[in-house]
Amino acid sequence: MAQQRFRLEVVTPQRLLVSDEVDEVTAPGIEGEFGVLPGHTPFLTALGVGELMYRIGGEEHFLALRHGFAEVQHEKVTVLAEEAEFPSEIDLSLAEAEKAEAEAELQRLSHESREYAEAQAKLERAVNRIQVASRHLR
């Protein structure tokens, strides 16, 4: 008997990245990573910054993900992300430059300023992009 699959859709404001039948999904929830298998209990959660993995058969696919929401239903998972990209789309040298720039900004800004929080978010995004690209680029 074939294992049941469910539909995964990953959407950003710019495009639809994934629309496929999958066996498993893991994603970065704001309270920690969560996993979904066929028939999972429905829920809605906010997403943080991290790596989304989905598996089709024995093949795993990855995305660098930044904030949004995931809606899990019995037969479908919908991810609405502020930003998502495949490792092959990440310019590693640009991400490393963005990381260095954010680190420099953090050194010169006051911890209480709005700009400090923006620089922290920029650093978090750059680090995530570097990690995902470095682990999964072939």
Q: Write down all domains in the chain, each with its CATH number in brackets.
A: 6-85 (2.60.15.10), 90-136 (1.20.5)
| CB-based contacts of 78, cutoff 8 Å, min separation 6 | 9, 11, 70, 71
Q: Which helix (H) or strand (E) holds 107?
A: helix 92-108
Query: Does position 51 have pLDDT exceeding 90, yes or no?
Result: yes
User: Are the C-beta atoms of residues 128 and 64 closer than 8 Å to each other?
Assistant: yes
User: Are the C-beta atoms of residues 114 and 104 closer than 8 Å to each other?
Assistant: no
Question: Above pLDDT 70, what percent of the chain?
Answer: 96
Query: Does position 55 have pLDDT exceeding 90, yes or no?
Result: yes
pLDDT tens column, 85-124: 999 999 999 999 999 999 999 999 988 889 999 999 999 9
pTM, to two decimals: 0.89
Cα–Cα distance for residue pair 92/100, rounded to 1 Å: 12
The pLDDT value given to residue 111: 87
Question: Above pLDDT 90, what percent of the chain?
Answer: 88
* Residue 13: Cβ-neighbour burial (10 angstroms; 0-12, 13-18, 19+): exposed
The pLDDT value given to residue 1: 42
